[in-house]
Structure 1
């Protein structure tokens, strides 16, 4: 009767982010700040993506002020920044970069269709 919407993972540590990347699904990361206007604008779109691709991708939100080292690890210079990590994430790729290998990146206000296209190009599919 009531369908509960799937929400993005709220990442509290780099270990959580690494665990999500190792699940074998594309990982879409929203690097954001609570005090950022454009981040708040994109919040609803990211929530929709988490629900739309719930079966075939992980969508995560990382508050760069709450997760020390996340911005530096992924070279985030401004928020919102969106990073897509596509499987397979191998230890060799990670060792080379010092972090999971990126497939796609965007900053600022981005259309939902562009974000969806990036997810689908990495193997994610819309849920039923």
Structure 2
């Protein structure tokens, strides 16, 4: 059902990263929880998103120059702010799966933070939206 609230399909336990954390912390979180998107927070405010694709770009560069990622001076010198996507589009818990699908259809990103009263309360991915459409039909 296209009018299904996004709150029904979103992930509610959202792992997030602080803008000042080392990039290796983001990679470790993604690996540990098998996730691909981390909201980036600063003083409790959402300021960006970091994806596994952002980290893969650094991995490709390290592979090209023949360095292990963890030992690479490039990797160690980068900040989350340099890698993240800024000006992130978000939705509220009142949005529908159809609204999320519309956002994804016009975007190059694969996740949307879900906000309520300026607080991060969830995250929805393209996979979540596709699964919702498949199970509703």
Same fold (TM over 0.5): no
The structure where helix makes up a greater share of residues is 2
Computing the radius of gyration from Cα coordinates, the structure with the larger value is 2
TM-score (norm 1): 0.34
